[in-house]
Structure 1
């Protein structure tokens, strides 16, 4: 076997192990295990805890890796919302999608609630998200569609809080009602 082939197979094996750890972590979160113990993830994935830490140095890094695809979807939604001709429709679409995505991916909810990101990809996506939301909010302020003091960070926190309110026992009808209440409260 050539050195290149050996290195390629090691990289492929490492990618498979990483995918197995992410699947184990995702399964734990889906089952309500939001603590994401690295030992439990290692055991469920059939690897040593050192392997988990080698791929994910912290719990936050693991959460961000789990949430990466959902965060990409949220960024794309925010960009589309910022381009929506009717700013009110764009804002409502962003909030509805943001809530739906968080409810389907508890890792994203935790990543959005965190103060700081640790992964470069998450930092980049977070900047893209903030820029799209800032564009949307600037347009909304200019058109008088929202309170002038609303910031992108306010919107992030409110959306995280809304997700939490729905998770603690609201129905789908309640989720829609909560969104309507939030949207009404954002108006000047």
Structure 2
């Protein structure tokens, strides 16, 4: 079922109709609904590996001796992971989780992001009012902007620079 859903995502189908996924996977629709309560639960399952990879990037950013570099690396990783995995982009753009695993991943990412932000604030790298949810929302917005047209492949670095300038204290 996950392979069928990934194939639909790769083809650009973000709707992920569970009936169509059941047909593609060669199972009954009841089987799909027994595993996934709905589209959001399916997206969260699809995004779990990318979420874990982003958490590893956040841990590395939190431990980076140069916190300005760590912050930039975290933001770049969040953008790149969302661009590479539309399921992760969809999950991160939704403020609430359906699955316990996703909730745990979200909390872990939030805690690591807070470590990065706390260190960045103490170093005078960012403004005092920035919280992890701001980072989530801003990177979701940037990934959407990049998807809407990055013909020359320079948008990530350009938009990341604009974002970092806006976060400065």
> Structure 1 residue 44: deviation in Å?
1.0
Cα distance in structure 1, aligned partners of 2:125 and 2:28: 53
SS in 2 for 1:34: coil
Which whole-Å deviations, capped at 9, do the CAs of 1:84-112 have from their partners, x for residues lacking one?
Answer: 01110000001111111111100000111
> Structure 1 residue 116: deviation in Å?
0.9
1:51 matched to 2:31: yes
- Residue 48 of structure 2: aligned partner: 68
Superposition TM-score, scaled by structure 2 size: 0.97
Cα distance in structure 2, aligned partners of 1:181 and 1:62: 34
Larger Rg: 1
* Aligned pair partner of 1:183 in 158, 164, 168: 164
The structure 1 segments of at least 4 consecutive aligned residues displaced by more than 3 Å after TM superposition are none
> Structure 1 residue 128: deviation in Å?
0.5
1:27 matched to 2:7: yes
- Residue 155 of structure 2: aligned partner: 174
- Residue 88 of structure 2: aligned partner: 108
Superposition TM-score, scaled by structure 1 size: 0.87
Cα distance in structure 1, aligned partners of 2:11 and 2:164: 31
Where structure 1 has 5 or more consecutive residues not aligned to the other structure, the ranges are 1-20
Structure with higher helix content: 1
> Structure 1 residue 40: deviation in Å?
1.1
- Residue 160 of structure 1: aligned partner: 140
1:98 matched to 2:78: yes
Which whole-Å deviations, capped at 9, do the CAs of 1:151-172 have from their partners, x for residues lacking one?
Answer: 1100100000001001111232
> Structure 1 residue 180: deviation in Å?
1.1
Where structure 2 has 5 or more consecutive residues not aligned to the other structure, the ranges are none
Task: Pick 1 or 2: higher relative contact order, CA cutoff 8 A, min separation 6.
Answer: 2
SS in 1 for 2:13: coil
RMSD, aligned CA: 0.8
